[in-house]
A and B are shown apart, each in its own frame.
Chain A
Amino acid sequence: MKTKEFDKFFRDKIDSMDGVPKSAAWNKAATWERLNEAMTRRPSGKWYKIAAASVALFFVKSQKIFAAASFATKAVVVVSTVAVVSTTSVVVYNASTRNDNTSQNIVASDNRTNTTVAENKIEATEESVVETPVEDNTFSVVTENNSKRETVKTPEQGNKSTVTQPEDKNTVVETPVTITQDAPADPVVETPRSQKREMSLEINDILFKKNSVEVNPKSMTELNYILSLMRENPDLKAMIMGYYDEKEKDGMHLQSQRATVVWKYLVSQGIEKTRLNFGGYGASKKYSSKLEEGRELNRRVEVMLSE
């Protein structure tokens, strides 16, 4: 007998069966009662809604957990010293702002003169905030040994919404700092001054003209500022990231070309090639591209400096 016939033999035999197998102790009527009860007891529709809602809730929760986990791993990788300088404002973000814990604002200032000054300024303000908590809520200041990350991001020029209060000549910005669940309950965390702090340095984006690789004249000051920073701090390395706005034709080409333009400029001004890294990062937008203003800000090259 061949294999196919063998299978067919079994199929036919099983298909030809009728009724309930004698070996099975099964009560047909009882099963019907169960089924009938299950059908009538169930409120129509509602059951599914509850299920869908709980599934959605689970997804939200799991994503939160995932995000927190991924940030925790990133924090280990982050390069040591990072400070953020911009023409207008500085926002200090605690990377572990993922939990539902309370957040509170602290004030940071920035200074354009040089990196160390900016860093000191931030430290100083943080220190002052640590000593004088604004609210009763607890918060932590991020340090290296806490294995948390602190990134400092610059909003676009003229983004005044974050500015809360002027302090001397420096611009003052809102700084949300939150604690994670595993953070100590102690409201004040001491910051060891001797240690280098993990921060990321990001300069205002360099903007470009529409459909071209020409740098917007507004951004030349920004570019030169990066250059001066890199000259003063030989340890600094730069990551150059090119973007394009959604309405541009041939954006994939433009994004890398823009990064290359910045790269070429820095190299021509005497920055070592080994300190520069670049790539195209697509149409990921920072601002809505409905208006031309938003699109202008999306046609950009971001430069991230790290030590």
Chain B
Amino acid sequence: MEERLLKLFRDKDRLVHKLFYEHYADSMFRLCFRYLKNEHDAEDVMVTGFMKVFDHVKTFEYRGKGSFDGWVKRILVNESLMFLRKNHNFNMVPENYCKEIDEDFSPDSEISAEEIFNLVRTLPIGYRTVFNLYAVEGFTHKDIAKKLGISENTSKSQLSKARNAIIKLLEDNKMYLERTRKAGGE
């Protein structure tokens, strides 16, 4: 009886985990893949991150729609950052470089999401991490500075440089260049 009960408990857990995984796997993989260099790293982070979610889900307090999504996302982001910190060091030089982007520039809205995704992935690690955290995840510079162990000004200048790097990438890539010019000229 004992064994059967235990097996039932485990099977139930397994089912819940499976459902959870089916629902979140794609979006969370995309999230990890944005931060990390390759699929293997993203997979590693996903496994540890999901295990953390399963362990701590009992302590989670539901506060309206989207709160659980946000919570899972936050765990995966932190897990990714932890992985990055372990394998790279964010030895960014503290500096005060902060520039608004050129207002004349505007990317073509027809660029596909996938292209944008790949573009962000080609950025160097420092730019990519700060841009992901600030522009996509919506953290403040204060939070980012804390998470990465850098100063707020460094975070700001990294973001500013990241934006300019993206613009340069858009322009360098012939396809975007034409579209951008067209969009700008119209």
Q: List residues of chain A with CB under 8 Å of any chain B CB.
A: 1-3, 6-7, 9-11, 13-26, 28, 31-32, 34-36, 38-40, 42
Contact = CB atoms under 8 A, between A and B. Distances in A.
Given A14-B136, A32-B18, A6 B30 contact: no
B163 A3 contact: yes
Given A24-B39, A26-B43, A35 B135 contact: no
A13 B14 contact: no
Interface residues of B, number: 42
A16 B113 contact: yes
B104 to A, nearest CB: 8
Interface string B23-44: 0011001100110000100110
A21 B43 contact: no
Contacts of A34: 43, 47
Interface in B5-25: 10, 13-14, 17-18, 21, 25
Given A32-B18, A35-B50, A17 B117 contact: yes
24 contacts: A2-B100, A2-B101, A3-B100, A3-B163, A7-B135, A10-B116, A10-B135, A15-B136, A17-B113, A20-B26, A21-B33, A22-B114, A23-B121, A26-B42, A26-B43, A28-B26, A34-B43, A35-B17, A35-B47, A35-B50, A35-B51, A38-B47, A39-B51, A39-B54
Interface string B53-97: 010000000000000000000000000000000000000000000
Nearest to A9: B107
Contacts of A21: 30, 33, 114, 117-118
A13 B30 CA distance: 13
A42 B46 CA distance: 17
B114 A10 contact: no
Nearest to B22: A32
A18 B26 CA distance: 8
Interface in B87-130: 100-101, 103, 105-107, 109, 111, 113-114, 116-118, 120-121
A6 B25 CA distance: 28
B34 to A, nearest CB: 7
Given A17-B30, A19-B26, A10 B39 contact: no
A36 B109 CA distance: 41
B39 A25 contact: yes
A35 B14 CA distance: 10
